Chains A and B, each alone.
Chain A
Amino acid sequence: MIGFLLRRAANTLVVVAAVATLVFGLIHAAPGDPFAGSLDNPNVTEEVRARWRAAYGLDQPLPIQYGRYLGRLARGDLGWSFSRQQPVSAVIASSIPRTLLLVGLAITLAFAAGVGLALAQARRRGTLFDRVASGTSLVLLSIPDFWLGLLLLLLFSYWLPIFPVGGITDAVEYRHLDATGRLLDRLHHLALPLLTLVLAAAASVARYQRAALLEVLPRDYIRSARAKGVDERDVVARHALRNALMPSITLLGTSLPALVSGVVFVEKVFSWPGMGLVAVDAVASRDYPLVLAVVIVGTIVVAVGSLLADLLYLAADPKLRDA
């Protein structure tokens, strides 16, 4: 197992290095530089812009910039963010917990809700409930995250003002609340972005899981369980589900990258100051060090997600473990 983990870690390092190199080239090849925005102020001279470029080493040839970047990276220094005016590590440190909270909760709730819905559908297959649930899942799956987010925002923040419009806490009153009040305020602000991510992801899980369950239910061992008089609820939940979980575990590995990319739009819509919002701002402002850091962190998160999925495979399937 340790050898397996070490191999995966080595693979991840190679992937991160390759992705960082590719993105370094791409972001520098994109038109525009980090200080081009100041051209909309005619009072800012080219001399000043040249000083800014020199201060951040952007006046150097690209290979030198790349070499310096790798050198800093090796020392654990992610650089200085031009757009946020603070160390990149500080930007990442403040934003990544917010995104992990959102994505972590979204995955947990989406899988719980998706598997639960699939179980209910499998037990009532062919009924009106099954058809309505399938149709709803398909609709939710087809709606882009950001659009679903905007719909929920209008519905629950404007027309029915139940939830706050955006942000992570109340801008005015949060600091004047007690500990319980602060927790509730955070949950209140978390609700809509979380719901957006959960609805889309749960729909996907439900569809896969339902199909897997329907494939398992006609099998002989299920028939045997029923013949032994096992309650239908137990047949589905304990016998069928356990053997039908593999597609969902596969989906877990692939849904993490999807959620990480989807969270970009959801964070923007709900002003949720996580990695997604950082990524959008960093690309728009050509904040090279921040873009690279976001990509590296994103790659690691995806690699870890994939590793988790593999470990779950091993836990769920004795045949793989033995192999």
Chain B
Amino acid sequence: MAAVTRNLPRMQSMRKWRLAALCCALSAAACDRDAESTAVTGGTIVVAVAADVDALIPPLVSSVQGRQVTDLLFDRLADIGDSLNTTGDHGFRPRLAERWTWSPDSLRITFSLNPRARWHDGKPVTARDVRFTHQLFQDPEVAAPLAALLANIDSVTAPDSLTAVFWFRSRSPRQFFDAVYNLLIVPEHLLGSAPRGQLRGTPFARSPVGSGKFRFARWEPAVSLEVVADTANYAGRPMLDRVIWTVSPDFTTAATKLLAGEADAFDQIRPELIADIQKNAALQLVTYRGLEYGFLQFNLRDPARTTLPHPIFGDRQARVAISMALDRAGMVRNVFDTLAQVSLGPTVRGYVGADESLPKIQFDTVGANRLLDSLGWTRGAGGARARAGKTLAFSLVVPTSSRNRGRMAVLIQEQLRRLGIAVEIESVDNAAFMTRMKDRSFDAALGGWRLDPAPGIRQTWGTAGSRAPGGTNFSSYESPEFDLHVDSALAAMDPARAHGHMRRAYEVIIRDAPAVWLYEARSMLALHSRIRPVRLRRDSWWANIAEWTIDPAARLSRDDVGLTPTQ
């Protein structure tokens, strides 16, 4: 490390010169707009992450880490606004597309590309790239994880090099969202000749070329990945010089990196870390609204014979009794401290149709006891409940990867024990947990969903998700009334109408209690205090990172590394 520290005086000296120059410029009050911009550009942000990226070619990406990197390297035609509106094109901002027009029947959107847009290798971005990207996403050989989200796009045509036309199968409020949100445009001239089924083995997969404000610099798998500013980008250079992701699979190590100043950003905040961050003057804790909610999920089908209802949870009244027996507010406070609040239902606050006035099953242990008694689950010796010789007991499956859910499981076990219900906690690793969910091989489970801007409630709680092979409605909850309202809400062009139907759908599912809605996570990002973040979007805090700046007076040695001539 001596060599590093040997370089520090030079860097500090450079920093002093830079600061001196800045002071002169400010005191003279003569700096023009360019000079001001130069004064705040530069700097490095090191992000500590728990896992490496899964892929760097957008159609193949499914992990959060992969999204973070590809979102910076590649461009969409338009960016979703900070409100995350998905209806029509309201709030969307031009990116690769300068403008767009709708056909009179709304089945066609024509995007006019920015003629200055260039790939990082200097080639122009054309409509052929847009058409190619769509083909890639929909090619079964590629098996893009999110291909299903583009199902409503029939085709994309390129009448000229700067015009891309999206043709839709049907009118939908989310047409525009479908066309832009998941479609990060990739270069045809670099991927066009690659075998579709072997994209992961191409050189591009290791060294991608995008059109975003950051360019790929290097990737050492399982160690770190670096992107640097594309200073000649058509949309302007990013304020930062570089972003580096360092992989630390162990939470303690990642947290220590943050606390010791080796990392600048960390988003896996646990309650026990908050006090240390708040005590550390070099760190700031930025809170933003999250899109995650967690729940105690009941299997409504008998795991042994899935055609039959579950012996306990097949009965709505029993599910309601358990919901009433759980002090959700106390549990959430105990487990999450201030990092979560009690969930409203299968949604998060701020989502369409969700508001604080949704009905809830109140915490009422007296009522829960009475309800269970009325169902024939009566207390025997030792207080345990039984009916017709069968004790009221079930297993609760929890993924070992989530410490919060593990803690929550213990609290649920204890609260239900007081009610005379025996809960056996089964902690299994994530792969086993998800397989048990898929196979419906569980009584109850502590689950969670991270939502997209567009609600996926049809897949997670609708009949389609229950019956489809490998569907993700693991509870097997089926309600025609719920489905009807969800379908109506998702098809409604009028926001007020969509809101009304969605609210009704939430009321139905809360009444039917296929799950106890436990918590809605409040997202937190720990950042070094020299960083000035701009607009943390709920779905991706990194979305506007190109606009973030580093306080010039508080730069560290890593901020002064600068961009080498080749970068």
Interface residues of A (CB under 8 A from B): 30-34, 36-46, 48-49, 51-52, 55, 83-86, 91, 94-95, 150, 153-154, 157-158, 161, 164-168, 170-173, 176-178, 180-182, 184-185, 188, 268-271, 273, 277-278, 280-281, 284-286
Contacts and interface: CB of A to CB of B under 8 A. Distances in A.
A39 B434 contact: yes
Contacts of B253: 153, 165-166, 269-271
Given A166-B257, A281-B222, A43 B145 contact: yes
A273 B260 CA distance: 20
B355 interface: no
Given A37-B430, A273-B223, A46 B471 contact: yes
Interface stretch (B26-34, B241-249, B322-330, B518-526): B241-249
A181 B222 contact: no
A280 B249 contact: yes
A185 B3 contact: yes
Contacts of A91: 221
A279 B252 CA distance: 19
A43 B452 contact: yes
Contact of A167 (B52, B54, B246): B246
B250 interface: yes
Contact of B223 (A36, A168, A173): A168
Contacts of B220: 273
23 contacts: A30-B432, A31-B431, A32-B429, A33-B435, A36-B431, A36-B432, A39-B437, A39-B438, A41-B62, A45-B470, A49-B470, A52-B143, A83-B54, A84-B52, A95-B222, A171-B244, A172-B242, A180-B3, A181-B2, A181-B6, A273-B221, A277-B249, A280-B249
Interface stretch (B13-21, B146-154, B383-391): B146-154
A182 B248 CA distance: 21
Nearest to B557: A173
Contacts of A158: 256, 259-260
B251 to A, nearest CB: 11
B284 interface: no
- Max chain A C-beta neighbours (<10 A), residue from B6, B140, B257: B257
A32 B431 contact: yes
Contacts of B149: 43
B241 to A, nearest CB: 10
Nearest to A265: B250
A43 B7 contact: no
Interface in B447-479: 449-450, 452, 456, 459-460, 465, 468-472
A36 B2 contact: no
B138 to A, nearest CB: 11
B247 A42 contact: no
Contacts of B249: 268, 271, 277, 280-281
A165 B262 contact: yes
A46 B247 CA distance: 30
B273 interface: no
B250 A271 contact: yes
Interface of B: 1-4, 6-7, 44, 46, 52, 54-55, 62, 140, 143-149, 197, 200, 205-206, 220-224, 226, 242, 244, 246-250, 252-253, 256-257, 259-262, 428-438, 449-450, 452, 456, 459-460, 465, 468-472, 557-558, 561
- Max chain A C-beta neighbours (<10 A), residue from B144, B222, B259, B460: B222
Contacts of B197: 55
Main secondary structure of the interface of B (DSSP, over half): mixed
Closest 9 CB pairs of A and B: A181-B3, A46-B470, A32-B431, A42-B459, A31-B432, A51-B143, A36-B434, A42-B472, A188-B1
B203 to A, nearest CB: 12
B422 to A, nearest CB: 24
A152 to B, nearest CB: 11
A31 B436 contact: yes
A166 B248 contact: yes
A33 B148 CA distance: 22
Contacts of A161: 260-261
A40 B448 CA distance: 8
A151 B1 CA distance: 22
Contact of A51 (B140, B250, B433): B140
Contacts of A31: 428, 431-432, 435-436
B3 A44 contact: no
A108 B126 CA distance: 59
Nearest to A169: B223
Contacts of A32: 429-435
A94 B144 contact: no
B7 A173 contact: yes
A177 B1 CA distance: 10
Given A94-B221, A153-B252, A167-B246, A46 B434 contact: no
A150 B253 CA distance: 8
A167 B2 CA distance: 17
Given A268-B249, A271-B248, A84 B7 contact: no
A173 B561 contact: yes
A36 B469 contact: no
A277 B250 CA distance: 10
A213 to B, nearest CB: 38
Given A32-B433, A165-B256, 15 more contacts: A31-B428, A31-B431, A39-B472, A41-B145, A43-B145, A45-B148, A45-B468, A166-B257, A171-B244, A171-B246, A171-B262, A172-B44, A172-B46, A271-B247, A273-B223
A168 B558 CA distance: 17
Given A173-B7, A178-B3, A33 B140 contact: no
Given A48-B147, A173-B561, A181-B2, A37 B470 contact: no
A166 B2 CA distance: 17
A268 B253 CA distance: 9
B282 to A, nearest CB: 12
Contacts of B465: 42
B214 to A, nearest CB: 15
Nearest to A50: B470
A177 B7 contact: yes
A52 B144 CA distance: 10
Contacts of B435: 31-33, 36, 39
Nearest to A189: B1
A38 to B, nearest CB: 6
Nearest to B54: A85
- Max chain B C-beta neighbours (<10 A), residue from A165, A271, A284: A165
A42 B460 contact: yes
A41 B149 CA distance: 12
Contacts of B7: 173, 176-177, 181
B531 to A, nearest CB: 15
